[in-house]
Amino acid sequence: MTRKKLATVWLDGCSGCHMSFLDMDERLLALADSIELVYSPLVDFKQFPERVDLTLVEGAVSSEDDLKKIRHIRQHTRVLISLGDCAVTANVPSMRNPFGVKAILDAVYQQPDLLNAQVPSEGVPSLLPVARPVHMVVPVDVYVPGCPPSADQIYFVVSELLAERQPDLRRMLRFG
Amino acid sequence: MTNRVLTLQINGQEVSGREDETILEVAREHDIHIPTLCQLEGLSSIGACRLCLVEVANVPKLLTACITPIQEGMEVHTESERLNHYRRLVIEMLFSEGNHICSVCVSNGHCELQNMAQLLGVDHVHLPYRNPQRRVDASHDRFIFDPNRCILCTRCVRVCDEVEGAHTWDLKARGIQSQVMTDLNQPWGDSTSCTSCGKCVHLCPTGALFEKGKSVAEMSKRREFLPYLTIMRGKHR
Amino acid sequence: MLAEDLHRMAAHERAQQLQYDHHIIVCSGTACRSANSEAVRQALEQQVQERSQIGVCTVTNGGCRGLCAAGPMVSVEPAGLLYQGVTPADAGAIVDSLGSAPVPHILCDTSAAFFSKQRALVLEFAGNLDPDRIESYLANGGYDTLLKAVTEMTPTQIRDEIVRSGLRGRGGAGYSTGLKWNTVAKAQSAEKYVICNGDEGDPGAFMNRSEMEDYPFRILEGMTIAAYAVGAQQGYIYVRAEYPLAVSRLKGAIRQSEKLGLLGNGIFGTSFNFNVDIRLGAGAFVCGEETALIASVEGKRGNPRPRPPYPAEHGLWGHPTLINNVETFANIVPIIRNGSEWFAGIGTAKSKGTKVFALSGRIQNTGLVEIPMGMTLREIIYDIGGGIPGGRHFKAVQTGGPSGGCITAQHLDLPMDYEALMQVGTFMGSGGMIVMDDSSCMVDVARYFMEFCMTESCGKCIPCRVGTAQMFDLLDKITRGEATLDDLALLEELADMVRNTSLCGLGQGAPNPVRSTLRYFRDEYLSHIVDKVCPAGVCKMQHREEVLP
C-alpha cells in the first residue's frame, strides 16, 4: 500500500490544534505506516507539494497571506479538512470582526503611552477586513470543530479518511 | 371544566393526551424528543424558535408543537429530513446572527445552543456571519448581560414578568436589530425594578446572562427552582 | 334615533340640496390635498361669494375620484362635469361657467376607459359624498341598511346572506368572510369584539386609506351590521397614525354616529348595543397581521403569535374576535342592501364582487380603481391605467406588496381573481399594484422588498429575523455584482426555509418577491452574477479585478 500524503497547515490560530494532533502520541506511530507528512509547521518543508491527499487546516483566514496560502493549498489538495473552531467558525480571530481592522490596529499599536507608536507594515501581511472560516473562502470537505478537537477525534477522522470513508462526526464533536 | 382524553399518533406510535395539552407535552410524556430552545416548562410558550415545528398529516403548513393543542386522530411526525434541514438552518442562523465564540464563553459546555448544534449535527455554519457590534452591560453588581450571546428566546423577559413579577426585561427595536433590555433601555445596574433574584440568569440558555466572577466554562445554570415554583404556586399546567 | 328620524333627516338634507342649482365638489383626499386642493376649494368659495352665487351654488369637500395623477379634481353636479388639474386660478372660470359651457382646458373626459370600465361598489357615489357630514351620507341612503338589518333580519339571516354572497376577505388571503363570521358567532363567550383592520402598510397600497377617508360612515355601518351578526358589543378600528386624515374622518364619523344614536346603546330602538373606538398603529407593518394587531390593541408590543387558535375563537383579551379588512366592511352595506344574489352575479366563479386596486409605478393613470373580479390585467393596465408612459414597455406588475409576487407580460390576459393569481405565484393582497417597465431591474425590486421585510420584521421568530437579513445581504451582494452562483443557491435555500418555518405571514411571505422574480427573471439574476451586468442599468456594479472574500 502506498502511503497517503498528509499536510497540516497553520493559519490564524493558536497552534492548539497542532498540539492536539501531537497528542495522538503513540497512535502517530501507527499512522506513520500509512501516511507521509509532506508539509507541516512540525516539519521543515518549504514548498507545499503538487499533490496532497489530506490537508488538515488549523486557523481562520485573517490576512492576505492566509488567503493566498489556502487558495494554493486547496488547488493541490484532494481532501481539505477544517480542523478546529478557528478554521470552522473563525473563533477567537473573528472577535475583531465587529470593530474593523483600523480600530483593532489602533487599539494595539497606537496607544498614547507607547514609546514608538506605529502600526507595523514591513514584513507582515496585511489583515483582511474580517477573519473568516476556511469554508467561506475555499470549499471544505470535512469539518472538525472543537477548541481544540481532541486527539481521539483527530485520530478518528484521519483513520476514516485513510480508509476512504467519510467520517461521521455528527454528535461526536461540538463547538468550543 | 372537563378534559376529554384524545388519541393521536406521533411518529406512528399511538399516544393519548388531554385535550388541553399541546403536541409537545404529549410527546414528552411518551419520551418522544422534539427539540426546543425558547420553550421552558413553567413559562408561557411563544413559538419563537421554530425548532419544535412538526409535520401533521393533511395539514399543509408545519405546526409549532409547543403551542398547538392536540386533536383527535392527528398524525404527527417529529422527524424528517426536511424538518432536520430546517432545524439545522435555525441553529446556523443563530450562530450567524450574534457573536458566539464558544471557546471563550462562560457557558462553554453548559450551553443549550451549543448542545442543540451538536444534537442536530451542525458542524459548521454555511451562512455568512453578520458580526454585529453589541455592547456588554456589566453595570449590575452581580450579573452581566452580553447581547453578543443572546438568541432572543425571551426566557428572561417571561420569567421576570410571569414568575418574579418585576418585568425588568423587555424587548427593544425590531427585526435583526431586536434586543432585550432592562427597564426602559437603562443600564441594568440602574434598574429600579430589578430585584436581583437571578432567575433570568439561570434560565438563559446561553452565556448571554451570567454571574460576575465566572470564567470560561464555569457558568452552569440551575433551573430546579422553576418547576418547584410553578408547582408551589399551584399553576402547574 | 328611530326609523322615522332617519328618514326625516335624510329627506331634510335632500331638500336642502335641491335648493341649490349647482354643487361644486372638491376632492379632499390625501392625494388631491397634496396637490393643493384646499387652496382650490378656498378660491372657489371666494369666487362664489364674489360672483354673488351664494344661495345658488355650494362648494363642498368630496372624496377621491380615483384619478389621483390628475388632481386636484373638482366636479360640478348635477351637470356631471369633472375637472382635472384644477388650480386656484381656474376658480373664477368654473364659477362663471355654471349653467353654461364647461371650462375646456381642465375638463376631464368621463367617457374615457378609466371611468367607463370601472364598477363602483365600494367606491360608490364616485366621491360625491361629503365625508365630514353624516347628513350627506344619510341623504344617499346611509344607515338604511343597518336599519333593515337590525329590525328586519336575524343575525343568522345576515350571516347567511354574507355566506351566499361569496364575499372573501379583502385583506389579501381571501378567506371566506361568511365562514369567519359564522365561527365568531358560534363561539361561546359573553364578550366578543369586531376589529376593522386599517393598518395598510404595503408599499404602493392606498386603497384602505381612501376608503377610510371617503366612506367612514359606510365602514362604521358595515362594522355595526357585522357586530349585530356575530353578537359583539365593542368594535375597534385599528388605523396607522400615518393616515391622519383617515383618523380624523373616522373620529368625526364615530362622534356624529354616536350623537344620532347610530352607535351606542339600543340602536334603532332595539336591544342591540355597539360602540366603536379607534386605536392608532405606531407604524409597524407587522401590526397588519391579525394576531400582532390584537396584541397592539391590547397595549402590548405588536408581536404575532402562532395560529391556531385563530382570533375567531381566541382573540382580543382571549375573547372571540371578528377581524376584517376595511374594504371587506365596506362591502357589507351593498350586499345586505342589494342581496347576495346581486353581489354573487359580479365577478368570477370563486371570486365575487369587485376589488379596489391602487395603481402606481410606471403607469399613466396613477390612482385608485375599482374593477369587477375577473377583469384581465391587460384591461387594467392599458385601458383603465392608460398604459406605460414614455414609450417604454411593460415588464411586470407587483401585486400583494412585499409578500406578493410579480405578474409578467405573458400573463397579461390573466383574469384578476384569487385563484388565478395564486397560480402564477403571487396573490391578490390588499390591492396594491406597482407597475414596472423595462427600466426596472427585477433583482433590485426583490432587494427593495426584502429590505422592507427585514426592517419590518418584528424579530420574534428566528427564520424571519435572521433569514430576511441574510437574504437582503445576498440580494445586495448580487446587485453589487459581487455574488457567486453559490450565493444564489443559498438565497434559494433560505427562501424555502423562511417561507415554510416563519411564525406569521410577514416571514412566510417575505421570500415571495425573490421566488417570483427568480421564476420569471432568472436570467437577470444570472446577468448580475455571471456577467456582472445589470441589464436594466439600475445596479451599480463593482468593477474589481478580484473581489475580496
Chain B contact partners (≥3 CB pairs within 8 A): A, C
C305 in contact with B, Cβ within 8 Å: yes
Q: What is the CATH number of domain B5-78?
A: 3.10.20.740
Model confidence band, residue B236 (pLDDT cutoffs 50, 70, 90)? very low
Q: Which residues of A touch C548 (CB under 8 A)?
A: 128-129
CA distance, residue B49 to nearest chain A CA (Å): 20
Q: What is the CATH number of domain C442-531?
A: 1.20.1440.230
Q: Which residues of A touch B134 (CB under 8 A)?
A: 98
Residue ranges covered by each domain of chain C: 15-110, 141-344, 354-437, 442-531
Model confidence band, residue B237 (pLDDT cutoffs 50, 70, 90)? very low
Cβ C510 vs Cβ C464: under 8 Å: yes
Check whether B62 has a pLDDT greater than 50.
yes
In the block, which residue shows the cell 490576512?
A63
Architecture of domain C15-110: 3-Layer(aba) Sandwich (3.40)
Chain A contact partners (≥3 CB pairs within 8 A): B, C
CA distance, residue C532 to nearest chain B CA (Å): 21
Cβ pair A61:C549 closer than 8 A: yes
Model confidence band, residue B1 (pLDDT cutoffs 50, 70, 90)? low
The gap from C-alpha B55 to its chain's centroid, in whole angstroms, comes to: 20
Cβ pair C462:B49 closer than 8 A: yes
Per the structure block, which three cell numbers stand in for A164? 476512504
In the block, which residue shows the cell 385563530?
C310
Q: Which residues of A touch B125 (CB under 8 A)?
A: 89, 133
A136 in contact with C, Cβ within 8 Å: yes
Check whether A54 has a pLDDT greater than 70.
yes
Calpha distance C277→C234 (Å, rounded): 8
Chain C residue with Cα closest to B83: C501
- Pairing type for strands A127-132 and A61-63 reads antiparallel
Check whether A1 has a pLDDT greater than 90.
no
Cα torsion through C496, C501, C505, C506, rounded to 10:
-70
C465 in contact with B, Cβ within 8 Å: yes
Report how many helices (DSSP H) and strands (DSSP E) chain B contains, helices first.
Answer: 6, 9
Chain C residue with Cα closest to A139: C486
Check whether B68 has a pLDDT greater than 70.
yes
| Residue to substitute from B85, B102, B105, B215, interface A, most A β-carbons within 10 A | B102
CA distance, residue B115 to nearest chain A CA (Å): 8
- ipTM computed for the complex: 0.96
Chain B residue with Cα closest to C302: B174
Please name the member of B99, B103, B133 whose beta carbon is closest to the beta carbon of A147.
B103
Average pLDDT over residues B215-222: 95
Check whether A14 has a pLDDT greater than 80.
yes
Chain C residue with Cα closest to B85: C497
Per the structure block, which three cell numbers stand in for C306? 402562532
Cβ pair A135:B126 closer than 8 A: yes
Round the average pLDDT of chain B to a whole number and report it.
Answer: 95
Cβ B50 vs Cβ C461: under 8 Å: yes
Please name the member of A91, A98, A145 whose beta carbon is closest to the beta carbon of B123.
A145
Q: Which residues of B touch A89 (CB under 8 A)?
A: 95, 101-102, 124-125
* B164-197 per-position pLDDT tens digit: 999 999 999 999 999 999 999 999 999 999 999 9
A61 in contact with C, Cβ within 8 Å: yes
B48 in contact with C, Cβ within 8 Å: yes
Please name the member of B53, B69, B93 whose beta carbon is closest to the beta carbon of C466.
B93
Q: Smallest Cα–Cα separation from C290: which of C369, C379, C402, C175?
A: C175
The gap from C-alpha B96 to its chain's centroid, in whole angstroms, comes to: 17
CA distance, residue C501 to nearest chain A CA (Å): 24
Identify the CATH assignment for A4-96+128-162 out of 3.40.50.700, 2.40.160.20, 3.30.930.20, 1.10.357.10.
3.40.50.700
Q: Which residues of C touch A67 (CB under 8 A)?
A: 549
Q: What is the pLDDT of residue A173?
A: 81
Q: Which residues of B touch C490 (CB under 8 A)?
A: 126-127
CA-to-CA separations, A104 to A119, A156, B2, B195, in angstroms, rounded:
10, 38, 65, 38
CATH superfamily of C141-344: NADH-ubiquinone oxidoreductase 51kDa subunit (3.40.50.11540)
Chain C residue with Cα closest to B152: C460
CATH topology of domain B85-232: Alpha-Beta Plaits (3.30.70)
Q: Which of A31-45, B73-87, C217-231, C489-503 has the lowest mean pLDDT?
A: A31-45
Residue ranges covered by each domain of chain A: 4-96+128-162
Q: What is the pLDDT of residue C543?
A: 62
B133 in contact with C, Cβ within 8 Å: no
Q: Which residues of C touch B68 (CB under 8 A)?
A: 306, 308
Q: Can you list the residues of chain C whose pLDDT is less than 50?
A: 545-547, 549
Please name the member of A90, A99, A174 whose beta carbon is closest to the beta carbon of B117.
A174
Average pLDDT over residues B135-154: 98
Architecture of domain C354-437: Roll (3.10)
Residue ranges covered by each domain of chain B: 5-78, 85-232
Cβ pair A175:B109 closer than 8 A: no
Check whether A168 has a pLDDT greater than 50.
yes
3-state secondary structure C326-384: HHHHHHHHHHHHHCHHHHHCCECCCCECEEEEEEEECCCCCEEEEEECCCEHHHHHHHH
CA distance, residue A123 to nearest chain B CA (Å): 29
φ and ψ of C434, to 5 deg: -105, 115
Half-sphere CA count of A176, side-chain side, radius 13 A: 23
In the block, which residue shows the cell 376649494?
C41
Is C501 in a helix, a strand, or coil?
Answer: helix
CA distance, residue A137 to nearest chain C CA (Å): 6
Check whether B74 has a pLDDT greater than 90.
yes
CA-to-CA separations, C288 to A33, C171, C433, C457, in angstroms, rounded:
68, 9, 18, 12
A135 in contact with B, Cβ within 8 Å: yes
